[in-house]
Structure 1
Amino acid sequence: MSEDNPHSSRGSASKTWLERIASLFNAEPQDISELEHIISEAANRQLIDEDTKGMLHGVLDVSNMRARDIMIPRSQMATLDIEQSISEILPTLLDNNHSRYPVVNEDKDHIEGILLVKDLLQFAFDAEAPAFHIRDLLRPAVIIPESKRVDALLKEFRQKRYHMAIVVDEYGGVSGLVTIEDILEQIVGEIEDEHDDAEDADIKKMATNVYQVSALTPLDDFNERFNTTFNEEEADTIGGIVLHAFGHMPERGESIELDGLMFKVSKANSRRLLQLQVISGKPPTATEQD
């Protein structure tokens, strides 16, 4: 008789939907594509908003990522040399505004430890503080392989209360670093802090002719900064131009040359480009700032 009862039919459908949502959070995922479909359907039914949908997709992406997929490449690591004095390291601290830095001995393959900027405060405000060597303030560096699962790394970050890990390749050479912020950004999107202004958030000079560029940089800003002529009717952002040129969703490490610039994907997930490395042989514009 339940077949003739429309209320029973709706109740059954509702129950099935609720069970599907519950399984998303409580059951061991068996089929990622099915979970993604459930998330999209939940957003379509306005059971969750678009931000929540994006974060849930981000969680699913993170579960399939390795440290190599999200690390800051070796070439973009801001480091300090263990032999530098406090006056010598200040420019690096001011240019980068990080809270911690790997300290190296001669080159980036020899990490001596991690310096927390807050550990310098006692010397900055105490005129009678004794002289010190950077070595005296170092904290141990956490070393992980490129193959480390990102979800497992996030768990370790939380449990052991550290915020940065040095990533090494199979031969023990340093290939990059990962911070807890890098993982969280895969889930919630780009995180800007109070030190970021519009230009610093979008385009940052890393070395001579080498720049770190957000894929969301407005195309008119990019054209002005690099003297390029990308068609602003074709895309709103430089990431859109690069994505169109590739013709597919590129993975980290893929590169392409456009208008005299080399674009290398520094950070991306399965849905969008996040960060690009841009290598330019052109002279800087008048507004260029080191």
Structure 2
Amino acid sequence: MSDPLPPDPEPRPARSAPGSFFSRLRALLRPAPPTDRNDIRAVLEAAHDHSVLDGESYAMISGALEVADMTVADIMVSRSRMDMLDIRSPLSELLPMITETGHSRFPVFEGDRENIIGVLLAKDLLLTWSDQTLDLRALVRPPVFIPETKPLNELLQEFRASRNHLAIVIDEHGGVSGLVTMEDVLEQIVGEIEDEFDEAAEKTIFRTGENSWRAMGTTEIEDFNHMFHVQLPDDECDTLNGWLAAELGHIPRRGERFESQGLVFTVVGADGKRAHWLHVQRAEPEPTPEHAA
């Protein structure tokens, strides 16, 4: 009689799949990926501190993170600072404003500044301005309206998809509160974008003759006083337009003249709410140093 079969050996534990032990070990040693934006910012700061990211790269990535938390209201150009064109104004009046501001796009309104009917591209006008029968309405492109609460990252995607570069911002009541451009959004990521017109765009006072200037109504009184060596009061008003309205007792009207501290102010551009452009001339030429007493 044959011997009984030996008992089955105790089962050995299953061998781990090749590499699984090392995978678990690497997982223990490797830090977990960032789970929120604060963690990402901490990683970026550490990378910058250890020279893994240079200053420019760090600023751009940080800017992209900031954009995700911002809305249009955070960066828009306020309504009081918008340079707009009245479709009813003759071309002879519009061209000086277009050339002096240096903008490439202008909101166009009809009658009231709340009634924005479109956007005019300066290049469209310059290509056809020699046509004496030109109708600006044919050049005006449809406006794009967006709410103040729109996130900037969504706006940037819409700008890219539509190839549009300017949008009119409206408040919760449907009124115009400002405008925003693609450049405004990109500057939040890459920093200030300067071009050959920026210096002129920052200026609000332009010399037009030996003894005359053209000034925007939004000119800060402090800047005006410094340039003309006068003392216009700035305790109640910040801008030239506000000061002039207070002096006249009403909204400045086109053609009105006012003299103060040796300067003659003439309103050359205005609507029912404010003066946009003023002609400034000295009542008497400013004495030169050699002739000053």
- TM-score, reference length from structure 2: 0.62
The question of 1:196 aligning with 2:201 is answered no
What's the C-alpha RMSD, in Å, of the aligned pairs?
A: 3.7
5+ unaligned residues in a row in structure 2: which ranges? 1-21, 206-214, 245-259, 264-278, 281-293
1:156 maps to which of 143, 155, 158: 158
Q: Is the 8 A contact 1:114 1:141 kept in 2?
A: yes
How many Å separate the matches in 2 of 1:12 and 1:64? 34
How many Å separate the matches in 2 of 1:154 and 1:261? 40
5+ unaligned residues in a row in structure 1: which ranges? 1-7, 24-29, 214-220, 228-258, 264-277
- Deviation of the 1:93 alpha carbon: 0.4
1:218-237 to structure 2, matched below 5 A, reads none
How many Å separate the matches in 2 of 1:138 and 1:130? 17
- Deviation of the 1:41 alpha carbon: 0.7
The question of 1:98 aligning with 2:103 is answered yes
Structure number having the greater helix percentage: 1
The aligned counterpart of 1:143 is 145
**Rg larger in 1 or in 2?**
2
Q: Is the 8 A contact 1:82 1:135 kept in 2?
A: yes
Describe the shift of the 1:85–1:170 C-alpha distance in structure 2 as closer, same or farther (beyond 3 A): same
The aligned counterpart of 2:122 is 117
How many Å separate the matches in 2 of 1:60 and 1:187? 8
Describe the shift of the 1:204–1:49 C-alpha distance in structure 2 as closer, same or farther (beyond 3 A): farther
Describe the shift of the 1:211–1:185 C-alpha distance in structure 2 as closer, same or farther (beyond 3 A): farther
The aligned counterpart of 2:210 is none
Q: Secondary structure at the match of 2:169?
A: strand
How many Å separate the matches in 1 of 2:75 and 2:81? 13
1:240-255 to structure 2, matched below 5 A, reads none
The aligned counterpart of 2:189 is 187
Describe the shift of the 1:180–1:140 C-alpha distance in structure 2 as closer, same or farther (beyond 3 A): same
How many Å separate the matches in 1 of 2:121 and 2:202? 25
Q: Any idea what the Cα deviations from partners look like across 1:172-215, whole Å, max 9, x if unmatched?
A: 10000000000011111111101233xx46554684364499xx
Describe the shift of the 1:114–1:209 C-alpha distance in structure 2 as closer, same or farther (beyond 3 A): closer
- Deviation of the 1:121 alpha carbon: 2.4
Describe the shift of the 1:38–1:75 C-alpha distance in structure 2 as closer, same or farther (beyond 3 A): same
How many Å separate the matches in 2 of 1:223 and 1:90? 28
How many Å separate the matches in 2 of 1:194 and 1:209? 22
How many Å separate the matches in 1 of 2:139 and 2:90? 13
How many Å separate the matches in 2 of 1:223 and 1:130? 41
How many Å separate the matches in 2 of 1:154 and 1:209? 29
Q: How many residues align?
A: 212
Residue type at the aligned position of 1:138: V
How many Å separate the matches in 1 of 2:224 and 2:45? 33
Residue type at the aligned position of 1:48: L
- Deviation of the 1:107 alpha carbon: 2.3
